[in-house]
Structure formats: structure tokens, C-alpha cells
Amino acid sequence: MAAPPPWLSVVIASRNEQGSLPALLAQLGGAPDLVREVLVVDGGSDDGSGQLARLGGAWLLRSGPGRGHQLGLGAREARGPWLLLLHADVRLPPDWAERIRNARERAGTAWYFRLAIAGGHPGLRLVELGVALRSRWRQLPYGDQGLLLPLALYRACGGLRPLPLMEDLDLVQRLRRLGRLRSLGSAVRVDGRRWRQRGILRTTLENAHLRRQWRRGADAATLARRYYAGP
């Protein structure tokens, strides 16, 4: 009996991630029975990320900057029945493929990975705990954690809007109206450079303030300018 075809479309938002992207593509390349296609959506890199994406076997798309624009474009072009939405600076856990295969049994459910932040500072462990509680009890995982869901569910909730910031919060708020988001159990690892550059407490408070302003109706473009401003 022939093996079933791969069914997962992976969409990666990337911008100047030549130091991170090859390792992520290598991880995804280790599960050819699962991954049907990898779509890297470049948001204006000038460091060779696009060339590395092609060399790594990905389908390269180009977009204006902003993860909402990038991931939304990739999702529109995806051909698999399931989507995995990722940021280019993540590292998947060793058992990522097994976790995703098991998740497919719940066809109407969206899934997320737990978050791990690179670095040994105890404050980062507190951030991870806060993210875990937010994800489980408030059903609000971050885009950094990755999002796995059936393409049909993605379309049913309206998909990603082309927002320059808060695109992840906007999406999961709509998804949780359609059903509970569930943890895949294992954790993706993110670089943590923003926490290192700006400080753990400062970054945490700034992020909370931006989310509060978003909930109160602040313009996403204005919030994005604040978020991406230098220290």
C-alpha cells in the first residue's frame, strides 16, 4: 500500500534571518512524509535570507514588511490541508513532527507550541511561565509559539489580517470563538534578543502596554512604530 502524501504546509515569516533560517529549514526537511511544502515569505531582507530559503528547498515569496502581511500571503498560497505558521527565528523541539502528526486527529482544533526563550536568566523562566498561563487559561498564545491548524479552520475564522503588529492576537481572538486552542506539549525556542537588548522587565511591561492599547482600539501602525523603535 502506498504511503499517504504529505499534508502540512509550513508558512514562515522572515526578514534578515540568514543566521536562523537555515537551521529551521533543515529541521523541516527532516520530515518529508509530513511536510508537503515550505513557504518562506520574505519581508524585505537585505542579508541573503531569500537565497538561503531557495537553497533550503523552500518556495520563496516576497511581501512588504509585517508578519500579518507575510503570513497571510503564505497562507493564501498554501496547498496543504493543514497550516503551520512560524517565525523564522524559532527552533522546533526534537519531537515536533510526532506532536503534529498526533494533533491531526482533532481536525477542528488549533494548536500551539509552548514557548522557551534562549538564555539562562531566571527572569526569562518567569516570562515563559507567564506565557504558558496566558496561553492555557486565556487562550492567547503568541505568534512566536507557532500556530498549527486545519486550512479550513483558518479560512472559517477569516484568516490573518495584514496588520503591522498584533496580527497574532487578532487571529487567536477569532479562533477561540470557534473552539479551544490546545498546546502541543513541546516548546519552540526563540532567540530572546529583544529581551536581552531592552531588558526583561522593560520588555514585558512594554508588551503588556501595547496589548492594552490595542484592546482599547489604538491603531496597529502606531503601535508597530513604538514596538520597533530602538532602545
pLDDT interval class at 2 (50, 70, 90): low
Sheet containing strand 147-150, strands side by side: 59-62, 35-42, 8-14, 82-87, 147-150, 111-117, 182-190
pLDDT tens, residue by residue, 171-204: 999 999 999 999 999 999 998 888 888 898 898 8
C-alpha cell at 215: 484592546
Q: Are 141 and 172 in contact (CB under 8 A)?
A: yes
Q: Are 14 and 45 in contact (CB under 8 A)?
A: yes
pLDDT at 231 over 60: no
* Full DSSP string of 148-165: EEEHHHHHHTT-----SS
Place of cell 479560512: 155
DSSP state at residue 70: H
Residue 188, number of CB atoms within 10 A of its CB: 22
* pLDDT in the model for residue 64: 87
Query: Cα–Cα distance between 4 and 80 in angstroms, integer?
Result: 13
Is residue 14 a contact partner of residue 41, using CB atoms and an 8 Å limit? Answer: yes
CATH of the domain at 38: 3.90.550.10
What nine digits make up the cell of 161? Answer: 489580517
In a domain, 214, yes or no: no
- Kindly tell me if the per-residue pLDDT of 230 is higher than 60: no
> Distance between CA 175 and CA 187 in Å, rounded?
21
The packing angle between helices 220-227 and 200-215, to 10°, is 170
Q: Return mean pLDDT, the chain.
A: 92
Quick: pLDDT tens for 101-147. 999 988 789 999 999 999 889 999 999 999 999 999 999 999 999 99
The mean pLDDT of 51-71, rounded to a whole number, is 93
Is residue 222 one of the residues assigned to a domain? Answer: no
The predicted pLDDT at position 215 comes to: 87
Cα–Cα distance list, 117 to 44, 89, 183, 188, 212 (Å): 25, 11, 17, 8, 23
Which has the closest alpha carbon to 149: 91, 95, 85, 76?
Answer: 85
Predicted confidence at residue 76, as pLDDT, reads 96
Residue 34 sits in which domain range?
A: 8-191
165 lies in some domain? yes
**Residue 169 lies inside a defined structural domain of this protein:** yes
Residue at 224 is within a domain: no
Confidence grade of residue 154 (pLDDT, cut at 50, 70, 90) = very high
pLDDT score recorded for residue 193: 81
Confidence (pTM)? 0.94
pLDDT of residue 1: 61
Q: Whose CA is closest to 56, among 92, 113, 12?
A: 12
Q: Is 205 domain-assigned?
A: no
Residue 112 located in a structural domain: yes
> Exposed, middle or buried, 2 (CB in 10 Å: 0-12/13-18/19+)?
exposed
Per the structure, the count of domains in the chain is: 1
Do 59 and 78 contact (CB within 8 A), yes or no? Answer: no
Asked if residue 221 is part of any domain, the answer here is: no
